């Protein structure tokens, strides 16, 4: 079942790179008592994701914080090392949490997996952006195939 506005976020975890190496972060740690924007891309370093999606959130991060967002998190079905390298390449610094969903378990829990096997990419996560308030999805923006509109940073910012 696909997540919708008003639904509690499913339990799960991601992996992120820290100064001490890869570390798990649970959805409880990520969402409890916070307002979080979680956006997903089909893959790190892929054209739209790298040229538009991630840079938009980096550029508008301060405006998100000014509207009460505690964290902006980017996830993809990539390993933690790729997500870390992409974050460095994209200049995210401490503006964006780069969260690896290495096996796609969280994308599946959200009902937002994407079969990209015909592109040689296996099963990935769809392109989406969620606004999560204290563990509940308040806005769910899922892109149609090949689109980049409702998950873009400027669109999501207007929903706050």
> Which two structure tokens, joined as six digits, stand for 157?
């910012």
Decide the pairing of beta strands 123-125 and 113-115.
antiparallel
First-to-last CA distance in the chain? 25
CA distance 25 to 85: 18
74 noted as active-site residue: no
Q: Annotated catalytic residue: which of 17, 30, 37, 49? A: 49
**Contact in structure between 17 and 84 (CB atoms under 8 Å):** yes
User: Within 10 A of 61 (CB to CB), how many other CB atoms are there?
Assistant: 19
Active site residues: 49
């Amino acid at each position: 079942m696909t997540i919708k506005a008003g639904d509690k976020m499913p339990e799960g975890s991601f992996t992120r790179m820290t100064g001490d190496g890869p570390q798990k972060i649970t959805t409880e740690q990520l969402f409890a008592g916070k307002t979080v924007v979680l956006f997903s891309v089909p893959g790190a370093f892929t054209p739209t994701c790298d040229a538009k999606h991630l840079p938009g959130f980096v550029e508008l991060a301060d405006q998100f914080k000014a509207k009460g967002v505690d964290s902006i998190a980017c996830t993809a079905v990539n390993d933690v090392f790729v997500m870390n390298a992409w974050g460095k390449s994209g200049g995210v610094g401490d503006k964006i949490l780069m969260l690896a969903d290495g096996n796609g378990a969280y994308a599946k829990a959200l009902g937002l997996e994407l079969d990209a096997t015909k592109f040689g990419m296996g099963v990935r996560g769809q392109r989406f952006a969620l606004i999560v308030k204290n563990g509940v999805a308040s806005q769910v923006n899922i892109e149609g195939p090949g689109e980049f509109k409702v998950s873009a940073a400027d669109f999501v910012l207007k929903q706050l």
